[in-house]
Structure 1
């Protein structure tokens, strides 16, 4: 082939109209992602963008809104136990899953019901 996939540029999750403040609290304050500025031409569409390391998460506005219950991004973390304690302190529910050999992992739902996998390879 004459083309090569290089990386994932971003993952987009959907949220209902007017939910930017809630997204900032969950993704920015609780998960610790850094908010980044959207390009001017895209601001009128609503939503908010975040980044950690070189990865971006775009929270886009969708009407009518339906959360992603099966499709999901998966984030690799270091020290999943500390994250679980942090989530508990912030009253964010998660489900422990032991089905993936070689990984400790949990699932959380963002405030809009989108499923997010978080895992630590052991």
Structure 2
């Protein structure tokens, strides 16, 4: 039927870094976690249909291959903002009408950014 959200792990106590990256740089808004989950730490972000939930994992290991792919409307402009913030960009070959690249969140999780023209 559809996808509700993607969950990524993060280390404990790093919510500020998550907010700086996902909200400040990627432009996703933080949304409140349900009260029954709020005490577990982590943060939830969304924009349109893109929903990323970051949860605390005591045995944290970054997702370096598995990743969410976020659609953007102006990849070049988006990358300029990320580069200005010191975020390394990993280019990749286009896919069927989509320019794309990868970045890592502050915890090493892989994030794909895509702009599709058709």
* TM beyond 0.5: yes
- Taking the aligned partners of 2:27 and 2:63, their CA distance within structure 1 comes to 22
Check if 1:76 corresponds to 2:71.
yes
Q: Which blocks of at least 5 consecutive residues in structure 1 are unaligned?
A: 1-5
Check if 1:15 corresponds to 2:10.
yes
Structure 1 stretches of 4+ with a deviation exceeding 3 A read none
Aligned length: 117
- Taking the aligned partners of 2:48 and 2:95, their CA distance within structure 1 comes to 25
Secondary structure of the 2:44 match is strand
Q: Which blocks of at least 5 consecutive residues in structure 2 are unaligned?
A: none
CA RMSD across the alignment: 1.0
Q: Which has the larger radius of gyration?
A: 1
Check if 1:94 corresponds to 2:89.
yes
Q: Post-superposition shift, 1:77? A: 1.1
Secondary structure of the 1:67 match is coil
For residue 110 of structure 1, what is the aligned residue in structure 2?
A: 105
TM-score normalised by structure 1 residue count? 0.91
TM-score normalised by structure 2 residue count? 0.94
- Taking the aligned partners of 1:53 and 1:103, their CA distance within structure 2 comes to 19
